[in-house]
Structure 1
Amino acid sequence: MTLTMKPTFKPIISALLASLITACAFNSNAPAAHTEVALSKQEANFFKRLESMCGETLVGTTVYPDDPSHDFAGKKLIATISECSDRIIRIPFTVGDDKSRTWIIKATGQGLLFKHDHRYPNGKPHAVTNYGGYAGSYKNAHGTETKQFFIADEHTADMIPEAKSNVWMLELKPETNELIYYLERHQKPRYKAVLTLQN
């Protein structure tokens, strides 16, 4: 049996819906409008692999540059995959005693997005934060389900002009239970860390 709405109620319901939509549009606390996720198969599989590791902790060290004066030199690195959903994964990244950093991997309508969120202990963002970019091909190499390249976006270039050529790589190595974080600038190595999954 098919139910039909009486015509007399349609204008009332339409008006109520219009009012609700208008109210939400002007409410700063209203959730953002739903957008479809548009990931390649490789991006989606990479995201799923990370999501499957939710709750896991990886520990490691800086392997490049081998420079004792580098800010990260000799410091213990900890990445905890602590918050996961079908759209976003948050990975607090601790450098020694510094807990200001969080990696954010996000499934968006423009592809897979990787960002660096820097905040003070009170939650206030640093002046330099939210930099990163979307997954893409780099040096004729395409992303895979275990490795993705993230090209610096316009926001990053505007905020940190010297980083406009940055390309970050995240690689999962199931055979060794490792996560590699690697950065190039001007197509030259700038930083690399290797972290190992803890039992």
Structure 2
Amino acid sequence: MRAALPLLAATALAGCATKPAASNPQDAFFDALSARCGKAYAGRLASDQEADAEMRGKAMVMHIRHCTADRIEIPFHIDGLGPDGGWDRSRTWIVSRTPAGLRLKHDHRHADGTPDADTLYGGDTADAGTATRQSFPVDAESIAMFEATGRGVSTTNIWSIETTAAGFTYGLNREGRHFRVAFDYAKPVAPPPAPWGW
């Protein structure tokens, strides 16, 4: 019996080693983004609607610029759309933890750093999502902002972020509107300057 004890212990340990670790999909998603903190990647417009025409063919960079245990800041830079024809550095996606899940907010600023009339809009996750994809339906605060600034068309927005081994994708969907930009993790680039106002 005494000789069997080490064998039983080894079997139990082996079972623990092969058992997949329990993981909340939102924690796995957040951790996957955080693991790339500090890195920047080249990307492109991946949708093809008339509303996307201004961005078509433009160079794009996303930068996972700053991460804490409960917040990730991801500036989105677009070449050729700035006030002088250079880089537009007005947009930052902010993913944060909440007691109920994850939240996505959009920080929009002018070149002088002042906030845009429509800024810090977004929404919270309505379900657990997956370890690679999270969706964010528009929240009540954002709906009120859009209505106040004449952007009622945006009151049904659902945003999404995907992060897989291949890359990062940001999307916006509502009836008649499907916007998507994709960034390739195989194409890292030098981190760009700070976004406007940061």
TM-score normalised according to structure 1 size: 0.71
Question: Hey, what's the Cα distance between the residues in 1 that align with 2:121 and 2:90?
Answer: 14
Which one of the candidate residues 131, 148, 154 is aligned to 1:145? Answer: 131
Letter in 2 for 1:183: L
Determine what percentage of the aligned residue pairs are the same residue. 32
Unaligned runs of 5+ in 1: 1-39
Give the match for residue 184 of structure 1. Answer: 173
Instruction: Return the match for 2:153 from 157, 162, 168.
Output: 162
Structure 1 position 99, deviation (Å): 0.3
Aligned residues: 153
Structure 1 residue 68: Cα displacement: 8.6
Q: 1:68 to 1:167 in 2, by over 3 A?
A: closer
State whether residues 91 and 109 of structure 2, in contact with CA within 8 Å, keep that contact through their aligned partners in structure 1: yes
* Structure 2 residue aligned with 1:81: 64
Decide whether aligned partners of structure 1 residues 86 and 74 sit closer, same or farther in structure 2, where only a CA change above 3 A counts: same
Q: Distance in 2 between matches of 1:41 and 1:69?
A: 35
Residues 69 and 115 of structure 1, relative CA distance in 2, 3 Å threshold: closer
**Partner AA of 1:193 in structure 2:** V
Alpha-carbon RMSD across the aligned residues, in angstroms, is: 1.9
Once the two structures are superposed, the pairs formed by residues 1-199 of structure 1 within 5 Å of their partners are 41-67=24-50, 70-96=53-79, 97-137=87-127, 143-160=129-146, 161-174=152-165, 176=166, 178-186=167-175, 188-197=176-185, 198-199=187-188
Question: Structure 2: how far apart are the matches of 1:173 and 1:66?
Answer: 25
Runs of 4 or more off by more than 3 Å in structure 1?
66-69
- The letter of the residue matching 2:184 is T
Contact 1:115 1:131 in 2 (8 A): yes
Q: Matches of 2:139 and 2:120 in 1, distance apart?
A: 11
Q: State the alpha-carbon separation in 2 of the partners of residues 182 and 55 from structure 1.
A: 22
TM-score by length of 2: 0.71
Q: In structure 2, what is the Cα distance between the partners aligned to 1:70 and 1:181?
A: 17
**Residues of 1 paired with 2:105 and 2:65: CA distance?**
16
